[in-house]
A = this chain, B = another copy of it.
Amino acid sequence: MHQPFKTALVQMSMSADKTANLAKAATMIEQAADGGARLVCLPEMFMTPYFCQREDSALFDLAEEFPNSETIRALRAVAKKTKSVVIAPIFERRAPGVYHNSAGIIDADGEIAGFYRKMHIPDDPAFYEKYYFTPGDLGFKAFDTKVGRIATLICWDQWYPEGARLAALHGAVILFYPTAIGWHPDEKSRYGAAQHDAWRTVQRGHAIANGVYVAATNRTGLETDDKTGSKLEFWGQSFIADPQGVLLAEASVEKEEIITAEVDVKHLETIRRNWPFLRDRRIDAYGEITKRFIE
């Protein structure tokens, strides 16, 4: 059984300067590791502003290959230097016309421990992701690292109980959700509180239903699309919940900051022994989950 370890989430804002974003991320990983963190998760597509506010074919230039990119090379070096696992979300160029929203899991020795491609792709005004991202084809998985067996999903995945369940059934003890979620400024006063509360609640629900830790890493800051003027105010509030859904750490709305919590497999086992939900699943009766709707 793995030892308890401290995990950290890096909540940051992004500029149009990729070099600066990478340097900031690397510095914050080092700060987290200096504070004792053994695993650090960055926000979704931390290398760029959230470019999906408009559909523009020129923006595919922002993508990079995995693992042969400057970003991944740099973060592998940081992981090795700090002896920390790093979850590195990237805009992935797989082939001409085939792009994904992905995340590499870099082990604490700098080796690649896993790779995930976002399975659920949203599309809403100012979140035009179906234009940019081919839905993932690697499925829901978990990966062994030096600190334990973990899973990452990405942003919109966080609304889907199926993804959380499958990652937990693969043995993950913690589910990471690198995220880029925010308010439309003109909706915030009316709907903002309920939107944020629903976002946090559904993910705490995954923690409870599966008996796993859940950690969501969001970006912060107001981003304005320079062509359309469209604005998104990313709501920060990255958080870590325990296997009973208890909030262990939660970031502010507006600050760049590192939050941390301890992940303890013994605590997870205690929770699952007392609330043995996995024992009683009716696997004989769930087959229709693979239907779109049931008429």
Give me the interface of A with B, judged by CB distance under 8 Å.
119-122, 124, 135, 139-140, 156, 159-166, 169-171, 194, 197-198, 201-202, 204-206, 208-209, 244-246, 274-278, 280-295
- Beta-carbon contact of A160 and B281 below 8 Å: yes
- Beta-carbon contact of B294 and A171 below 8 Å: yes
- Beta-carbon contact of B198 and A201 below 8 Å: no
Min C-beta distance of A226 to chain B, whole Å: 27
- Knowing A140-B285, A282-B120, A283-B291 are in contact, say whether A202-B198 is a contact too (CB < 8 A): no
- Beta-carbon contact of B288 and A209 below 8 Å: no
In the assembled complex, the Cα of A122 lies from the Cα of B257 at a distance in Å of: 42
Minimal Cβ-Cβ distance residue in B for A293? B169
Number of copies: 2
Min C-beta distance of A108 to chain B, whole Å: 24
- Beta-carbon contact of A282 and B119 below 8 Å: yes
Minimal Cβ-Cβ distance residue in B for A205? B205
In the assembled complex, the Cα of A169 lies from the Cα of B288 at a distance in Å of: 9
- Beta-carbon contact of A289 and B166 below 8 Å: yes
In the assembled complex, the Cα of A159 lies from the Cα of B282 at a distance in Å of: 12
- Beta-carbon contact of A245 and B198 below 8 Å: yes
- Beta-carbon contact of B205 and A120 below 8 Å: no
A289's partner among B120, B245, B289 (CB-CB below 8 A) is B289
- A164 cross-chain contacts in B, Cβ below 8 A: 161
In the assembled complex, the Cα of A122 lies from the Cα of B171 at a distance in Å of: 22
- Beta-carbon contact of B205 and A121 below 8 Å: no
- Beta-carbon contact of A282 and B201 below 8 Å: no
- A163 cross-chain contacts in B, Cβ below 8 A: 282
- A275 cross-chain contacts in B, Cβ below 8 A: 159, 198
Minimal Cβ-Cβ distance residue in B for A119? B282
In the assembled complex, the Cα of A202 lies from the Cα of B206 at a distance in Å of: 8
- Beta-carbon contact of A292 and B286 below 8 Å: no
- Knowing A162-B282, A277-B159, A282-B120 are in contact, say whether A202-B169 is a contact too (CB < 8 A): no
- A244 cross-chain contacts in B, Cβ below 8 A: 194, 198
- Beta-carbon contact of A289 and B119 below 8 Å: no
- Beta-carbon contact of A285 and B159 below 8 Å: no
- Beta-carbon contact of A120 and B280 below 8 Å: yes
- Beta-carbon contact of A161 and B161 below 8 Å: yes
Minimal Cβ-Cβ distance residue in B for A162? B286
- Beta-carbon contact of B208 and A280 below 8 Å: no
- Beta-carbon contact of A139 and B171 below 8 Å: no
- Beta-carbon contact of A287 and B286 below 8 Å: no
- Knowing A165-B161, A194-B244, A205-B201 are in contact, say whether A292-B288 is a contact too (CB < 8 A): no
- Beta-carbon contact of A293 and B278 below 8 Å: yes
